[in-house]
Structure 1
Amino acid sequence: MNTFVSFLLAARPKTLPAGIVPVWAGCMIVWKMRGFWDMRLAALTLASALCIQIACNFFNDAIDFRKSADTAKRQGPKRMTASGQLSARTVQVVGALFLLGACVAAWPLIELRGWPMLAIGIPSLFFAYGYTGGPWPLAYKGLAEVFVVLFFGLVAVMGTVFVQVGWSSGDAMLYAAAGMVGVQCGLLSAVMVSVNNIRDRAEDASSGKRTLAVRLGDAKSRRLACSFIVATYVTMPHVSKALGGIQLSWYWLPLILLAGVLMLKILRTPADKRMNGVLALAALHLVAFVATLACS
């Protein structure tokens, strides 16, 4: 395996929809409710968000290896540090460079929108490392799903809307819609995390990584992942109203069928390498959800 491929795999490209979709959703909300969106600001927001997510993936690769959380029992995609393709130091340096890239991309947004961008950006930079590293790593404490709902959902969508339009006294409805869609995006991203943790539950339990799947057990963690999907669709009438009465018509049926298939797969697929296909399906469902919402 050449070095470029090793770096590409360490970035975990299959997980990147979780960073792309919230920015897309935020721009979609602004377009639906205001009739415009700024492509340059969207590109800078997306670049910063992806850099933070990729940095987080690199840090995870190195830190999980150092904590012996990646073992020969691993059922997920090969980790570059654990497999010896890249050194832990190299992986962490690349992660730090991506954080620097996130700062560079965000600088024009800070100049435009001021201190609120720092209030969003600084915690995001910290948790890119603190997700698995630092004195209180979230992923090791069973808080990964909560983190994803907040940062890859609520903060990312509402932050994108703020970048696009700023804030004025007449923006309450716009931000209410952004908050609802943000929670939906976060829940569907959390499904991906839950599937990943269900697959790795036995390995994580043996290495002391107390994910939510380890804490709840196999059956309850599967039901929890399905509840995230159900909650997303149960809230659709409220989201429709907030976005100005979008039509929940027949072309939502393929998406609902996809959601049903995904839930069946989550409930029935053994916790081994076959869960990797479920993870890919969860990512597809996340993208398809926002695409359908955008077309409504």
Structure 2
Amino acid sequence: MDETNVNVNSFKAWVLASRPKTLSGAAVPVLIGIASAVCMYGRDGIRVVPAVLCMLFALVMQVDANFVNDYFDFMKGTDDETRLGPKRACAQGWITAAAMRRGLLITTLLACAVGLPLIAYGGWEMILVGLACVVFCFLYTISFSYLGLGDVLVLVFFGLVPVCITYWLVAPPTPLTSIPVPVIVLSLACGLEIDTLLVVNNYRDIDNDRRAGKKTLIVRIGPVWGRLLYFFLGFLAGGLVVYGASRMTQSWNLWQQVLIIIFYLFHYNTFLAMRRINKGAALNRVLGMTARNMLIFGVFVALCLLL
């Protein structure tokens, strides 16, 4: 969407603030959770309503997280004129601070409303899960990202929680006592792959984050180890998929091998671009390539489970 001529608090401004390109990060874990349930119980054995609700909850929470990040980074002065990443709504004046407070309140309440019916499928424990998602959505921007713990939250709330809880809710109403190990392995793979987006984002902003006192993991380990971390996360995620999917399907055929190899090629090509560009706003191209890789990863994992 064109970022010029954006009227204050307009519909266009809110669309830009929602950051549509980030929504794949919310959709992929739910997709993998659903595909895992289909693999285990068959297409006719899963529950469709909780699958839809899980996807809607994840998407609304992602928009909510984007609003929270936009508002609190603006209030802390992190999003100043030296920012190299994509433009932020409050910092650009597209949305006023007061309007953004109302916006994030509305999206938070909407996420709660969407998630509330999941109690009927997963019990009252779903309130605790939803509450944790909302609380850590705020804590990530307010505190954890400044302490270098953002990567841990990504692993938990873009991997373990959405994949495993979606699987739990979508599976047929039989007495489930635990999540199968292969599903947990796939959830870890998902969290690691999505964390590559945070790694390249923090890699690009390493100098600005240092000045702002934001001690991200990349600030702590430095750019060289940051690039290696990016490379390692993607390849480890693929390896975990091979283990988890082969355990669930009781096989590992040629098509599954081809899909993982294609993902590895995309990831390696993106790593080379990251190393070549190295610094500056041009790394936003690597950010876009990484978002594409995340979506490819989710689709390929689903296909590995369903082929």
Flag whether TM exceeds 0.5 (same fold): yes
Partner of 2:16: 9
Measure, in 2, the Cα distance between the counterparts of 1:151 and 1:252. Answer: 24
Measure, in 1, the Cα distance between the counterparts of 2:157 and 2:21. Answer: 18
User: What letter corresponds to residue 16 of structure 1 in structure 2?
Assistant: L
**1:71 offset after TM fit, Å?**
1.2
Partner of 1:164: 170
Unaligned 5+ segments in structure 2 are 1-5
Unaligned 5+ segments in structure 1 are none
Aligned equivalent of 2:273, options 262, 265, 270 = 265
Partner of 2:283: 275
**1:270 offset after TM fit, Å?**
2.4
Deviation string 1:67-99 (CA, Å, 9 cap, x unpaired) is: 111111111111111111211221122111111
Measure, in 2, the Cα distance between the counterparts of 1:144 and 1:156. Answer: 17
Please list, as runs of the form range in 1=range in 2, the aligned pairs for 1:208-227 lying within 5 A after superposition.
208-227=213-232
Measure, in 2, the Cα distance between the counterparts of 1:252 and 1:228. Answer: 14
Partner of 2:160: 154
Number of residue pairs the alignment of both structures matches: 292
Q: TM-score, normalised by structure 2?
A: 0.90
Deviation string 1:10-31 (CA, Å, 9 cap, x unpaired) is: 1111111110001111000111
Please list, as runs of the form range in 1=range in 2, the aligned pairs for 1:168-183 lying within 5 A after superposition.
172=178, 175-183=180-188
Measure, in 2, the Cα distance between the counterparts of 1:45 and 1:121. Answer: 11
**1:100 offset after TM fit, Å?**
0.7
Aligned equivalent of 2:193, options 163, 188, 193 = 188
**1:169 offset after TM fit, Å?**
5.7
Measure, in 2, the Cα distance between the counterparts of 1:60 and 1:163. Answer: 29
Measure, in 2, the Cα distance between the counterparts of 1:196 and 1:167. Answer: 40
Aligned equivalent of 1:44, options 35, 44, 53 = 53
The answer to whether 1:19 aligns with 2:21 is no
Partner of 2:3: none
**1:268 offset after TM fit, Å?**
2.6
Aligned equivalent of 1:78, options 68, 73, 87 = 87
The answer to whether 1:90 aligns with 2:86 is no
Measure, in 2, the Cα distance between the counterparts of 1:212 and 1:275. Answer: 18
Preserved contact between residue 231 and residue 268 of structure 2 (Cα < 8 Å):
no
Please list, as runs of the form range in 1=range in 2, the aligned pairs for 1:55-66 lying within 5 A after superposition.
55-66=64-75
Deviation string 1:171-209 (CA, Å, 9 cap, x unpaired) is: 65x632221111111111100001111111111111111
The answer to whether 1:256 aligns with 2:261 is no
Preserved contact between residue 153 and residue 183 of structure 1 (Cα < 8 Å):
yes
Measure, in 2, the Cα distance between the counterparts of 1:60 and 1:234. Answer: 32
Preserved contact between residue 183 and residue 244 of structure 2 (Cα < 8 Å):
no
Q: 1:27 to 1:12 in 2, by over 3 A?
A: same
Tell which deviates more after alignment, 247-256 or 66-75.
247-256
User: What letter corresponds to residue 230 of structure 2 in structure 1?
Assistant: A
Q: TM-score, normalised by structure 1?
A: 0.93
Instruction: Classify the secondary structure of the residue corresponding to 1:243.
Output: helix
Preserved contact between residue 146 and residue 214 of structure 2 (Cα < 8 Å):
yes
User: What letter corresponds to residue 242 of structure 1 in structure 2?
Assistant: R
**1:166 offset after TM fit, Å?**
6.5
Preserved contact between residue 21 and residue 287 of structure 1 (Cα < 8 Å):
yes
Partner of 1:230: 235
**1:295 offset after TM fit, Å?**
2.0
Deviation string 1:149-185 (CA, Å, 9 cap, x unpaired) is: 111111110010111126756665x632221111111
Measure, in 1, the Cα distance between the counterparts of 2:177 and 2:39. Answer: 14
Partner of 2:41: 34
Measure, in 2, the Cα distance between the counterparts of 1:81 and 1:283. Answer: 23
Preserved contact between residue 71 and residue 203 of structure 1 (Cα < 8 Å):
no
Measure, in 1, the Cα distance between the counterparts of 2:252 and 2:35. Answer: 12
Preserved contact between residue 148 and residue 189 of structure 1 (Cα < 8 Å):
yes
